[in-house]
Amino acid sequence: MTSTQPHITTAGADPRLAGGRLTIDLDALVANWTFLAEKSKPAKASAVVKANAYGLGIEQVVPVLWDAGCRTFFVALVEEGLRVKAVAPDARVFVLNGLFAEARPVYETSKLIPVLGSDFEINLWTRANAESGLKLPYALHVDTGMNRLGLTVAEALEFAANTREMPVLVMTHLATADEPGHLLNQRQFESFQKLRAAFAGIESSASNSSGIFHAVSNGGDLSRPGIAMYGGEALAGVANPMRPVVTLEARVVQIRTGLKGETAGYGATALLERDTRIAICSTGYADGYLRSLSGSGTPLRNVVHKGGEGFVAGHKVPVIGRVTMDMTSFDVTGLPEASIKPGDYIELFGHNIALDDAARAAGSIGFELLTSLGNRYHRRYLYSGKGD
């Protein structure tokens, strides 16, 4: 009988020496991608693995998604694309962040596909194709309302009417898809349908994680799930249906008692209103646990009064004072003394504290917390291959 227990692989710092650990549930990741792929139908689902697979590791994430049936990946940079190809040689990989002339030889040998979004890039690519005699494929990025990368809709329509060297994919990016009621969504989808008509027969893509939860018929032939695949929220104000993928924990170095009337941390910003038991953990902003999660002493606390929280011994415990480069302190006064000791772990986000709740306490988003994760953690990857 095949075991259903997840296999554990490790990476990063030695667990005996690290001040914190990341547990990455690859089964949950696959389950999330499968859910999003089903929701994307009749479109096919790709996977966005830029920024080192949102901080989780391209080398660990891409193979399990490939095994789950994902065949197309999006990255930001050529270097990331080469890493995808190293673990999934047959994958189709699009590079989002434009084209630099010096990169052309790498495209010729790697079969990566650039996403072009300006006349300059298109001319550079087609001229190189003509000079080399190679008809290397490219994707076309059209700006339908974000004012970032891409041809304007008018430029793209003119290009479609006049070019002989068509792209293999035409795509756009949604600016406000996480806010379902925003008027820009409809305008972008309407522009996208004009593009689909002009580029008839060419694969098209508009839906990111948030876009997948809009009308599927508007989203093109290929969806591009990102944050939702990693467990983050896709839509604002809506219960998150995705499974948590990442658990971040900090290790307790010391537990001390501060007396009523004393202060804690840099700047003496935390005034102790009672005798307070403080758990000092070996994780800080150098590890990606943002300084804005401080319980006091940062500008954000003038607007959002509640800072970050940890979870230990069945209870949430607040950050006290400022998050520092290498350490964060938690108020554990309410816990029984025997329930926490040096060497224990306090969850910073995961199953008990949602990624996006932690991000909101920092005045940020789940994207930033994940992609800020440092390299000093011990990493544990759980994978049974079941994806359920």
Binding-site positions for substrate read 148, 325
Q: Exactly one of 50, 107, 289, 381 is catalytic; name it.
A: 50
Please check whether residue 81 is in contact with residue 95, taking contact to mean a CB–CB distance below 8 angstroms: yes
What H or E segment, with its residue span, contains residue 31? Answer: helix 26-40
Tokens of 181: 């009621």
Q: How far apart are CA 95 and CA 149, in angstroms?
A: 13
Spell out a b/e string for 58-96, using b for 16 or more CB atoms within 10 Å of the CB, else e.
bebbbebbbebebebbbbbbbebbbbbbeebeebbbbbb
Strand partners, 114: 95
List the binding residues: 148, 325
Residue bearing tokens 């291959």: 385
Whether cis (ω within 30° of 0) applies to the bond prior to 42 is: yes
State whether the Cα torsion 81-225-286-337 is positive or negative.
negative
Q: Exactly one of 107, 194, 230, 266 is catalytic; name it.
A: 266
Concerning whether 266 is annotated as a catalytic residue, the answer is yes
Concerning whether 381 is annotated as a catalytic residue, the answer is no
Please check whether residue 331 is in contact with residue 320, taking contact to mean a CB–CB distance below 8 angstroms: yes
Tokens of 2: 């095949």
Compute CA 38 distance to the chain's CA centroid, rounded to the nearest angstrom: 20
Concatenating the DSSP letter of every residue in 247-313 gives EEEEEEEEEEEEPTT-EESGGG-EE-SS-EEEEEES--GGGT--GGG-SSSSGGGGTS----EEEET
Nearest to 220 by CA among 205, 199, 200, 202: 205
Active site residues: 50, 266
